[in-house]
A and B are shown apart, each in its own frame.
Chain A
Amino acid sequence: MTNATEARQHWLGLMARAPDGRVAALLTDSGLAPTFDTLRAPEIGTVMVRGRMGATGGAFNLSEMTVTRASVSLACGTVGHGYVAGRSKPGAEAAALIDAILQTEKSGLARDAILVPLENEETARKAERAKKAAATKVDFFTMVRGESD
């Protein structure tokens, strides 16, 4: 797996995990939205999510989840794909556009305007929840028997 692939996995995952509407809003605010051709119009479907028997065993089918996907191409021919959980067609199209922009010479601008805020927000969101969970962690302490010297 190449670095380019890993980078692309990272940003596609980051956009998919963002709250509904956030990716499209950041794209609009960045002013980077280019003209594009639609390769695949935004489409709502499902993915069958799998689990593992006993957490580590063979796979089984757990439940479907809704997913929306879209594919675009920029004037330069660069292709972008977006796959986003939920049913937001604008969200999937924005993710596809950003995926395409991040493969062009404007990637630096898009990184600063879109990926960095998404990363920061996600880190804060996860930390907040983890801190609340940590506050409910049980601290056991040993009861000393009532014998004194």
Chain B
Amino acid sequence: MAAVLEGGFKDAPRDASHAFRGLMTAMARPGTCVDVAGAVPPAPLSVAAGVVLLTLCDPDTPVYLAGAFDCDDVRTWLAFHTGAPISTAQTCAFALGSWDDLNPLEAYPVGTAQYPDRSATLIVERQSLVPSGVTLTGPGIERQAALNLPDPAALAANHRLFPLGLDFIFTAGSQVAALPRSTRIG
């Protein structure tokens, strides 16, 4: 029992502030890989995914766990450290999983015309984050950036929904990179 409950932020206000700054940078500079630290979550969660959950989730943010991430250890850890309720893909604020398990993207809320913010943020666990591959342009990118995206066509379709749409946080090891809906793909 104790082992599963360990691995939260040691100094929550400070650790969460650092992590939030890192996530802000990642979201404001799409494609930029940022190192984060402070969480030691249970497998199969990466450190980075653990940090994202601890920083952004609370009892007001339903979380959908996809595939192998929907396991007792992750549920217990998430409940203890964040209090976030587990939800379906249709009603979630955050979703966590591998790209294949998270698909199809049509399952998630994209917001409404009045409230585009009532949309899901997908936390996608990746093998690695590499600043090459698909070209990214748009707000927060001076000229262009690049990132190894899983499915550029689907992500480009998501961008076309703007101002509605999903936002993505990619995690691998202790690194995060983000792709807000405002970023143009390719």
Q: When each residue 71-85 of chain B gets 1 if its CB lies under 8 Å from chain A and 0 otherwise, what string results?
A: 000000000110000
Instruction: Give the CA-CA distance A41 to B3 in the complex, in Å.
Output: 16
Interface size class of B (residues with CB under 8 A): 10 to 19
Complex CA gap A93/B135 in Å reads: 51
Question: Is the CB–CB distance between B2 and A79 below 8 Å?
Answer: yes
Q: Is A50 an interface residue (CB 8 A)?
A: no
Asked whether B8 is an interface residue with its Cβ less than 8 Å from the other chain, the reply is yes
Cβ B5 vs Cβ A39 within 8 A: yes
Question: What separation, in Å, do the CA atoms of A41 and B12 have in the docked complex?
Answer: 8
Q: Point out the residue from B1, B3, B8 that lies within 8 Å of A40, measured CB to CB.
A: B8
Q: Is the interface of A mostly helix, strand, loop or mixed?
A: strand
Interface residues on A, range: 10 to 19
Q: Considering the chains assembled together, what is the distance between the CA atoms of A111 and B173 in angstroms?
A: 46
Whole-angstrom CA separation of A78 from B3 in the bound complex = 10
The verdict on A77 contacting B80 (CB below 8 Å), with A40-B8, A41-B12 known, is: no
How many whole Å from B27's CB to the nearest CB in chain A?
Answer: 26
Q: Select one of B1, B8, B10, B12 contacting A79, CB under 8 A.
A: B1
Which residues of A, 62-76, contact B by the 8 Å Cβ criterion? 71, 73
Closest to B7 in A: A39
**B12 touching A43 by the CB < 8 A rule?**
yes
Q: A40-B80, A71-B80 are in contact. Are A77 and B2 (CB under 8 A)?
A: yes
Binary CB contact string for chain A from 37 to 64 against chain B (1 if under 8 A, 0 otherwise): 1011101000000000000000000000
- Chain A residue at smallest Cβ distance from B4: A79
Residues in B whose Cβ lies below 8 Å from that of A73? 2, 5-6
Which residues of A are found within 8 Å of B3, using beta-carbon distances? 77
Chain B residues whose C-beta falls within 8 Å of the C-beta of A43 in the assembled complex: 12
Q: Which residue of B lies closest to A40 (CB)?
A: B8
A71 to B12, CA, bound (A): 14
CA A77 – CA B2 in complex, angstroms? 6
Would you list which residues of chain A between 100 and 119 have a CB under 8 Å from chain B?
Answer: none
Query: What's the least CB distance linking B83 to chain A, in Å?
Result: 9
Whole-angstrom distance from the CB of A127 to the nearest CB of chain B?
Answer: 37
* A residues lining the B interface (CB < 8 Å): 37, 39-41, 43, 71, 73, 77-79
Q: Please list 20 pairs of residues, one from A and one from B, whose beta carbons are closer than 8 Å in the complex, sorted by A's number.
A: A37-B6, A39-B6, A39-B8, A39-B80, A40-B5, A40-B80, A40-B81, A41-B11, A41-B12, A43-B12, A71-B5, A71-B80, A73-B2, A73-B5, A73-B6, A77-B1, A77-B3, A78-B2, A79-B1, A79-B2
Given A41-B12, A71-B5, A78-B2, 7 more pairs with CB closer than 8 A: A39-B6, A40-B5, A40-B80, A43-B12, A77-B2, A79-B1, A79-B2
| A-B complex: 9 closest residue pairs judged by Cβ atoms | A73-B2, A39-B5, A77-B2, A79-B1, A79-B2, A79-B5, A39-B6, A40-B8, A71-B5
